[in-house]
Amino acid sequence: MSDECKTTGFTPQQVARWPNVHKHLCGTLELPTLDSVSEEVILNIGEGIEAMLKSEGPTPKQLKARAGLFRHLKRTLEHRFKNAELQQFGSSQSGLTLQAGDLDLCLQFKGDIPAKALRQVNRILKQHDMEDIVMLPRAKVPIIKFKDERTKIPVDISINNTLALHNTELLKRYSACDERIRSVILAVKHWANRRDVSDAASGTFSSYAWTLLAVQALQQTTPPVAPVLQEGQERSMVEVEGTTYDLTMREVDSITMDPKNNQSLGELFVEFIFKYAASWPFKDQVVSVRTGSPVTRKSKKWKHATPKAEKAVLMEKKTRLGQHSLPIEDPFDLKHDLSRVLRPAGALDIQEEFIRACLAMGDGGRWDAIVEAKNPERFVPVAEFDLFEDLRKKSKEEVATLLSENATAIEALDERMNALTEERKHNVRMSRALRGTIEDTTELRNELRTIVRTLRPRSKEMDKLQTTRDEINKRIGLPLYRIEELLTDVYKQLTGEIDLFQVPSLRREEDQFSWFFELQAMHAEATKAQEAHKAFIALLKEQKDAVRSLKANEKEQQKHKAELLESEPMLKDMDLNFSDAMQFDKKAHKLLKVIDQRRTELRRLRREKGRLDAWVRISSNPSRSSNRHGNKGGGKRGGGQKRTKSGSADWKPRNNGPRPEDVQQRAASGGTLSLTDLDVLLNSGGLSTVTKKQPSPKASRRQERKKKVNARNLTPHRGERSQSRKGRKD
């Protein structure tokens, strides 16, 4: 007997996964009304959101790590692509970020995008030890996803994602309109993430789509909390990548919401859930932040194509969801439906979560229950990372041994890298030389081929002529001139005056006539033989000329080869052909891969050296050491206190943030200062220090160099310092 539901066709597992959607499809689902949600629930949800905003917002340390990672990637990629700028967008720019958010970056090219740009980025990221790199070159906007090995921050880099920069600005403006807009968006993103329905890659909505759903709900409250930022008389039409878009966006300052909505955060979140759970606008509408209220599917010509989610999940696993399943219009790219990424199961998951939250709210459910993690293992806090954990138990001598082993390994690897680089250069050089000479001699070789091609047919023709001539000559036995002499004689005899005393007999006259005709036939044949002979002689001359040209051509090629051998003696036994050049290319390519691996190894070793050096420095300074590991960092000497991330000796990359001297100098010279600069300035003695006498440029340069050297010796460091100088050269 089949276990499948008679009405929906769902298997028991599917019913267990989507119990409420199943009830809804069977017509047995009863949703609570908005009015039935108690005040207490609303209050609790509001408080829950406030608490979540505090606990889930990015910590200063995380923000700093993101900023550091961005700087590092910017420096690296802009160094590689001179006509590009790496820009941030997404939540880190719109202010709508939580700890779970990723870092969205965009490589904007001024002018042409270089061929295989994404692959080049991939290679650079690999060299810089990024993890889990995934390329999506065929996505609407080419994108590469990865994680930073050290901080584990997830990053997306897209190429020329101009519209995203604009829609980020739009979201930033929305969140600046009213604090509650930002809070509700973050609450929605948090809820969707905890309930596993916020991952475009696995077939649910992207964070961006959830943000738009939240904004639309806030535009729809009575009175609206969120304005419609894209309305206005004056339109701003902008061409992006060959298409014109309406990028009109009102200034936040110009907006007054009258009458003002006074609903609480809790009320707004509850309304958001009820709006989508109960009325399910996607049935015949399209969510549209641009207009402030959903527009009809008909007006957009976005018919819900089959199969719909509840049918598609019954089909083969790979069955794709019909287009425009839960349509959300992109605010600027009006043809882009954000539900494009949904998979059948994902679409049902989303509906299930709306209904689940709605039922929970009607049932007095608390915030914690509503946002309870569906897969708690995804949210297990990552153990605090102690950069020096293994070293804390080691004696000074042991650390010194590690350092010396590390130095030996670096030296050995450096040498190996040198050898590999040389070998690769040699292969590249050989290939280039070979290809160069091949190109130089192309014409000669073509000419040679043409000459050679004529030799054989000509020779055949000559043989034929020779045979014709010889056969005729053999048959006739008399040369042409002799036949002509005889013909003349016989003709004279037959036509000359007759000597009356010697009148030839009739028989003799008959013989002479027949001899005459025979000679005539022989003459025709002998003429043919002579023509064949003449043609043979002409061809013989041509053949001799061709052989002469052949020799000259070969000589010329030999000259080129001699020149090549002079520059590359190792090509002695090579023929001038492309397959040899390709062998060198292949070898060079293989070597490049090995070099890349070795370079990564070398970078690791160098980083390890930095870490060991830093530990030696920290552990040899008892005050720093006890301060960092005793009071804050915990660890062995930490008096039993919890070890925080600063168990990593509160270690900070030196390179983070501007240096006080630089800021002071800039302030003194009247340059512009950012908030961070001001912070640094105040922490380093305030503005009074600015007026102090500046050291001479020469002295300050010397000081600068000294500091750089010191800085190099102290701490592990991201970026330039960890790169092999030799590696960087090529």
Residue from 120, 127, 162, 206 that binds ligand CTP (CB under 6 A)?
206
Is the bond leading into 660 cis (omega within 30 degrees of zero)? Answer: no
In the complex, what is the shortest distance from the CB of residue 704 to Mg ion, in angstroms, rounded to a whole number?
38
As a whole number of angstroms, the distance between CA 642 and CA 610 comes to 26
**Positive or negative CA dihedral for 64, 66, 72, 77?**
negative
* Contact assessment for residue 297 and residue 286, using Cβ atoms and an 8 Å cutoff: yes
276 binds, among Mg ion, ligand CTP, none (CB under 5 to 8 A by kind): none
The window from 202-210, 253-261, 419-427, 542-550 that contacts ligand CTP (CB under 6 A) reads 202-210
Q: Give the angle 360-362-368 at the CA atoms, nearest 5°.
A: 35
> What part of residues 70-109 is at the interface with Mg ion (CB under 5 A)?
90-91, 102, 104
Residue from 89, 174, 269, 615 that binds ligand CTP (CB under 6 A)?
89
The window from 11-19, 68-76, 83-91, 540-548 that contacts ligand CTP (CB under 6 A) reads 83-91
| 213 scored as a contact of ligand CTP (CB under 6 A) | no
For the window 314-343, what string marks contact with ligand CTP as x by the rule CB under 6 A? ------------------------x-----
The window from 39-47, 96-104, 115-123, 469-477 that contacts ligand CTP (CB under 6 A) reads 96-104
Nearer to Mg ion, 96 or 434 (CB): 96
- How many C-beta atoms lie closer than 10 Å to residue 350's C-beta? 28
Nearer to ligand CTP, 37 or 249 (CB): 249
158 backbone dihedrals φ, ψ, rounded to 5°: -110, 165
87 binds, among Mg ion, ligand CTP, none (CB under 5 to 8 A by kind): none
The β-bridge partners of 473 are: none
Residue from 18, 174, 208, 302 that binds ligand CTP (CB under 6 A)?
208
Which residue, among 89, 58, 87, has the nearest Cα to 73 in the 3D structure? Answer: 87
| 205 scored as a contact of ligand CTP (CB under 6 A) | no
| 199 scored as a contact of ligand CTP (CB under 6 A) | no
Q: How far is CA 163 from the centre of its chain?
A: 18
**Which run of H or of E encompasses 214?**
helix 207-219
The window from 39-47, 90-98, 346-354, 645-653 that contacts ligand CTP (CB under 6 A) reads 90-98
> What part of residues 102-131 is at the interface with ligand CTP (CB under 6 A)?
102, 104
Query: Looking at beta carbons, which residue is closest to ligand CTP?
Result: 101
Which residue, among 321, 34, 331, 360, has the nearest Cα to 195 in the 3D structure? Answer: 360
| 211 scored as a contact of ligand CTP (CB under 6 A) | yes
Tell me the two tokens of residue 526.
Answer: 């002998």
| 167 scored as a contact of ligand CTP (CB under 6 A) | yes
Query: Looking at beta carbons, which residue is closest to Mg ion?
Result: 90
84 binds, among Mg ion, ligand CTP, none (CB under 5 to 8 A by kind): none
The window from 94-102, 130-138, 218-226, 447-455 that contacts ligand CTP (CB under 6 A) reads 94-102
In the complex, what is the shortest distance from the CB of residue 163 to Mg ion, in angstroms, rounded to a whole number?
15
In the complex, what is the shortest distance from the CB of residue 338 to ligand CTP, in angstroms, rounded to a whole number?
5
Cα–Cα separations (whole angstroms), residue 286 to 177, 306, 311 = 24, 17, 21
Nearer to ligand CTP, 174 or 615 (CB): 174
* Contact assessment for residue 619 and residue 394, using Cβ atoms and an 8 Å cutoff: no
Tokens 């969801």 belong to residue: 321
Ordered alpha helix ranges (H), 568-650? 578-619, 622-625
- How many C-beta atoms lie closer than 10 Å to residue 9's C-beta? 14
As a whole number of angstroms, the distance between CA 43 and CA 39 comes to 6
The DSSP 8-state label assigned to residue 719 in this structure reads: S
| 282 scored as a contact of ligand CTP (CB under 6 A) | no
In the complex, what is the shortest distance from the CB of residue 136 to ligand CTP, in angstroms, rounded to a whole number?
12
Ordered alpha helix ranges (H), 380-505? 389-392, 396-440, 442-476, 480-495
Which residue, among 190, 172, 209, 171, has the nearest Cα to 49 in the 3D structure? Answer: 190
Binding positions for Mg ion, rule: CB under 5 A:
90-91, 102, 104
Binding positions for ligand CTP, rule: CB under 6 A:
89-91, 96-97, 101-102, 104, 164, 167-168, 189, 206-208, 211, 338
